[in-house]
Structure 1
């Protein structure tokens, strides 16, 4: 398969392999671009492994509405039309998703959305919302330069969860998330911070009922739900300011400055105001 990065970029990545296994996965994804898989039609952005053709057909039917939802929420079209790869093989999916992990349901990477075989089988009920969630990521980062400061993960994930109607936070209700906030288990929502994996998600205080007993899936869903709730609150408080924030971030501005310019207040102040509405 042909790479979707330049040969020079691939050589630079390859030279770094010994020190950075994460870059190896990124390079492997470059060599396994879903764009070179068969497409549903000559002009279709949906590409698939032959074993997943039926699922790809369903994705093709879902895609226009998912794109409309994302573009409406973000306030403008995609910078580049997204490519969606639908996989029948977990091994090939792991090679294409940039993480090397076949257990992740879907990933957005370099304008591509790659979907795991599980979304064509055991987790097919999640297909539409997960597709929308990942398209939100593809849209957001499609407008940003490669070297732009990355916004905090809580905002990026919270936005995608909100737009997709809860994908990524399934089985975690807002009621339970509020109860955890009142217990003191509050997601850290700072101006910087990228979650390298779910174990790196930080909560401000872990007390009371021994929060450490919960597994990573629970913590991830709680984090995604709390993030989505705060993002939705910000939007409800000032829709024009929220749109200004999105545009600033998508144009590569730093999060702290874009946030302050959009809302005329800093993040710590508004996060305290939000938590006070819950009792956290």
Structure 2
């Protein structure tokens, strides 16, 4: 018996050591583990709205979020065409360090992220970027809605579509500071976002056919990302206006776990890049008409 116990104990230690080694060698696993320990749903929930979880020092911000949440949720349900699969969870943070631990990116500079079906809000949204709170919350709830309906392990749609959908559904959340007119002018000048198939968050921004010029008065990465998001949002909005039935069919197919390219082709009868060319050509015609 002592031998068996010793062997079992040794095996357990070996498993722990192997897990520790895996975390050390794979930073993304370490970040994911840290995020799991800091899941916002482990924080207290507001008595008046159990969807909103908060750090005690962020109570005032959480109350502001709770006031916004009902109309943000209704807006997303209208844009996506169905209710949330389950009540969305929202995490409100006072500590930048704790927020970075929870967002699985170890980055406190991101205003908000969606992680594990919950929207996580940085302290900056009740601080110096308070004016963005409603738009960014609504943007993140679009991600929560889509992920809530998608089956586990389903292929993730490309980033240009998920971010474009969130910008469109939130009326510009996440693309603040770049107007549709400015994005349209960038399209005319050849600074057009590329509809590539990247499927995970890349905060260096989506690719462009030509790199947009930099404004020395603004943060280059922020403005670049928001220009990309604005153009993607305009295109997704155009797709919706072009054929609402096809758009709804596409969303339901993606929620059911179908790969994006096939679902898009089936819904619209042609590929996304083909329709993108039609979309951008409209701006050139407008120039000619003017």
CA RMSD of aligned residues (A): 2.3
Task: For residues 42-94 of structure 1, give each alpha carbon's deviation from its aligned partner in whole angstroms, at most 9, with x where no partner exists.
Answer: 86111111111011111111111111111111111111211111111111111
Find out whether 1:142 has 2:159 as its counterpart: no
* Distance change in 2, residues 1:42/1:185 (3 Å): closer
Q: Answer with 97-106 or 13-22: which moved more.
A: 13-22
Alignment partner of 1:228 out of 221, 233, 257: 233
* Distance change in 2, residues 1:210/1:83 (3 Å): closer
Q: Which residue of structure 1 lines up, in the alignment, with residue 251 of structure 2?
A: 246
Give the whole-Å Cα distance in 2 for the aligned partners of 1:167 and 1:54.
Answer: 22
How many angstroms does 1:278 deviate by? 1.1
* Distance change in 2, residues 1:253/1:12 (3 Å): farther
* Distance change in 2, residues 1:196/1:107 (3 Å): closer
Find out whether 1:166 has 2:172 as its counterpart: yes
Superposed, 1:39-188 pairs within 5 Å as 39-41=45-47, 44-188=50-194
Q: Answer with 140-149 or 269-278: which moved more.
A: 140-149
Give the whole-Å Cα distance in 1 for the aligned partners of 2:114 and 2:98.
Answer: 16
Find out whether 1:216 has 2:221 as its counterpart: yes
Is the partner of 1:232 in helix, strand or coil?
helix
Task: For residues 186-219 of structure 1, give each alpha carbon's deviation from its aligned partner in whole angstroms, at most 9, with x where no partner exists.
Answer: 10014x223542325211234xx85698821121
| Structure 1: unaligned runs, 5 residues or longer | 1-9
Larger radius of gyration: 2
- The ranges of structure 1 where at least 4 consecutive aligned residues each deviate by more than 6 angstroms after the TM superposition are 10-13, 211-214
Is the partner of 2:249 in helix, strand or coil?
helix
* Distance change in 2, residues 1:153/1:123 (3 Å): same
Is the partner of 1:279 in helix, strand or coil?
helix
Alignment partner of 2:278 out of 258, 273, 276: 273
Is the partner of 1:18 in helix, strand or coil?
helix
| Structure 2: unaligned runs, 5 residues or longer | 1-15, 286-290
The TM-score with structure 2 as length reference comes to 0.86
Find out whether 1:199 has 2:204 as its counterpart: yes
* Distance change in 2, residues 1:42/1:60 (3 Å): closer
How many angstroms does 1:183 deviate by? 1.5
Q: Which residue of structure 1 lines up, in the alignment, with residue 3 of structure 2?
A: none
Is the partner of 1:184 in helix, strand or coil?
coil
Task: For residues 9-29 of structure 1, give each alpha carbon's deviation from its aligned partner in whole angstroms, at most 9, with x where no partner exists.
Answer: x99986632333122222111
Is the partner of 1:108 in helix, strand or coil?
strand
> How many residue pairs are counted as aligned between the two chains?
268
Say if 1:90 and 1:102, in contact at 8 Å, map to a contact too. Answer: yes
Say if 1:82 and 1:112, in contact at 8 Å, map to a contact too. Answer: yes
